[in-house]
Chains A and B, each alone.
Chain A
């Protein structure tokens, strides 16, 4: 038999044609400078972002646009404009479920075990670049749930900071629309929110654990104050810092974490080439960074 009935169907997200060499060059540049990688399944998003920016600049080919990203006097600003196109501007609750699963099943037991050797039964979590508060409240709900489980007898606080004062005000209000709450399970929706017209209002029980404040990552004195942290979540913020500034921010994260602490970044974000003290660790479908002097804990 020489012929067989095979439909050349492909994954919806997998490219149907080999990506152009220029697009791959732009992907590599974005990764090298911003630390965010666009896998093949998201190349269409990158390409569409490039085309939008090309229209604004009046550039007609990816080759010319690549030159804009490396040669223009304001090439850093252009990279930021491109990043704004390819990252979702608004955030939402439970944005990275594999990360939350890894936190609950792997990270928390390890932190609890490490801290159990001391008398400290308090956890400090930092939502760094919290935007309008969805991540901080997600963490508050998750830890609130764990108070009845592996965190019985423990206390916690979520420190949430952002550069944008308007975002902080909105986060403190705790009022969210359909987009932000679309991944909320019925359990969390009923237990931690109250209806407010077409929106959902986060309840006082969750709010009480979260403290919002404005912070500039480049303000070394303020950054140094956020010490003794168990966990840092910093999603899609470091991509806007380049070169030495990025290195400085990451060094603050490193210094602020306790020896057993964890740093979680956004999906497809990496610290490769930025910091050699942090060590990458894999958990099921999630990655995080730990300090090199992290205490080995046997599960």
Chain B
């Protein structure tokens, strides 16, 4: 393995100069929503989201998706916030902000597959958390959404080198992080850690980004990392991965993440993986439709 790509990666990561910073709206929004519920003002949230017209429009499309549990159409951010609640609206606004981070195109790679995967992972993580009695479903959504932030960084700062890694992964049907390690000498988990620290994400989220392919290295919130690790894998095994087929076989109960999560969530022992997989089928279809709408593709 040549050290050159890793050196290039290291140099560029030092500056992260080609990657957009955390979207302007997201930062104040997340900070605002961290306050106790009784201090929050609905109009303030509406104003924050509405600052960016395209973000508001995307948020409204998402709010109208049954994935967020709203069965009546909404046509304004105000009614979306009122009907969905603050937690769901934060999830939606964060998801749309992540969409804005992706570059328009990267050679043969269509960046939309990464957003599609991230959104699917967020939804799966949230549902999985509810099913097994995991305490913080909101954090699970956020972790699922942001876990592959390192890939977004790769698309910006080392697009050509990343394309080589992606091509290797696709032709060999291997996990992307393994192909990155072969081609770049580092993975999107390594890069994700640096980006997360630079953005001052909370320590548990930093760990999700850096350890989701190796949950045993986590120490702050091992259960959260394990939950995201399994959700990520389930998406990749259910046709909602990184845009190619991984030629592998997975027994979820033998995954290291399973044993870690089992310590915190004993109900996982009798979890019906087959049923959960079948349930996700409908959600995956809706995620794909939503992505088409947000990317303005013909359906």
Which residues of A are at the interface with B, using a C-beta cutoff of 8 A? 1-11, 13-18, 31, 37, 39-42, 98, 101, 105-107, 110, 268, 270-272, 279-285, 287, 290, 299
Contact = CB atoms under 8 A, between A and B. Distances in A.
A14 B285 contact: yes
Contacts of A283: 237, 248-250
Given A4-B77, A7-B64, 6 more contacts: A4-B76, A11-B282, A14-B66, A39-B281, A105-B245, A282-B234
Nearest to B43: A2
B241 A284 contact: yes
Interface stretch (B31-39, B53-61, B140-148, B196-204): B53-61
A10 B66 contact: yes
B78 A106 contact: no
Nearest to B66: A14
* 4 nearest A-B pairs in the assembled complex, by CB-CB distance: A6-B60, A270-B274, A8-B73, A41-B282
B279 A284 contact: no
A182 to B, nearest CB: 22
A1 B252 contact: no
Nearest to B299: A9
A39 B282 contact: yes
A105 B249 contact: no
8 contacts: A1-B53, A7-B61, A9-B289, A13-B282, A106-B248, A110-B249, A272-B274, A285-B237
A6 B278 contact: no
A80 B274 CA distance: 22
Given A11-B285, A106-B248, A282-B237, A2 B272 contact: no
Nearest to A110: B249
Interface in B210-252: 234, 236-239, 241, 245-252
A98 B247 CA distance: 12
A209 to B, nearest CB: 26
B50 A2 contact: yes
Contacts of B71: 16-18
Contact of B277 (A101, A107, A287): A287
Contacts of A299: 247-248
Contacts of A284: 236-237, 239, 241, 245-247
B251 A279 contact: yes
Contacts of B250: 281-283
A98 B293 CA distance: 26
Contacts of A290: 251
A9 B53 CA distance: 20
